[in-house]
Amino acid sequence: MGEFTGAFTDEPAEIGRRVQRLRTGLGLTQRQLADPAYTPAYISTLESGKVRPSETALRFLAGRLGTSYEELATGRPAHLATELRLGLTDAQRALATGAADEAAVRYRRLLTDAEHLDLTAERAEALLGLGDCALESGELADAIRHFESAEGLLAGEPLPRRA
């Protein structure tokens, strides 16, 4: 749930189109965007989708383009993921205070948002929350279904993330 890394970035062609759209929107040439750290040829290659930019390059370009690394790498504004994580914390708090029905409503809305933003870890967390709400309400079949869905989402993750 921390910083986004290369594993979450879009395909090079999508990143390239995003860089080109932002660059032309700002009225910058490839040379103006590249200086002083890169060459215009590198920007051209990146924009054509022929190279996957490094995290360092994306951070440099994001700064030059006035956007965040996350938005440049994934197309998702950073504030949306942050708001979603804050919403998950609020739902957890509601569940902890015994408001399982209210928490379940929040978790369902957050699950939909996480699906829309394609945020796997947050989807899994919302499903786990829904499972906890179902347990609290005595709906064991629903709880099992939510927990199994979360487990399926995280199946490819390292063991510490799945725990």
- At position 86, the amino acid (one-letter code) is L
pLDDT at residue 6 above 50?
no
Average pLDDT of the residues in 117-121: 80
pLDDT value for 2: 38
- The third-level CATH classification (topology) of the domain covering 6-74 is 434 Repressor (Amino-terminal Domain) (1.10.260)
- The ranges assigned to domains in the chain are 6-74, 78-162
Global pTM?
Answer: 0.59
Architecture of domain 78-162: Alpha Horseshoe (1.25)
Provide CB contacts within 8 A for 156, sequence distance 6+. Answer: none
pLDDT value for 108: 95
pLDDT at residue 53 above 70?
yes
Tell me what the pLDDT averaged over the chain comes to: 88
pLDDT at residue 54 above 80?
yes
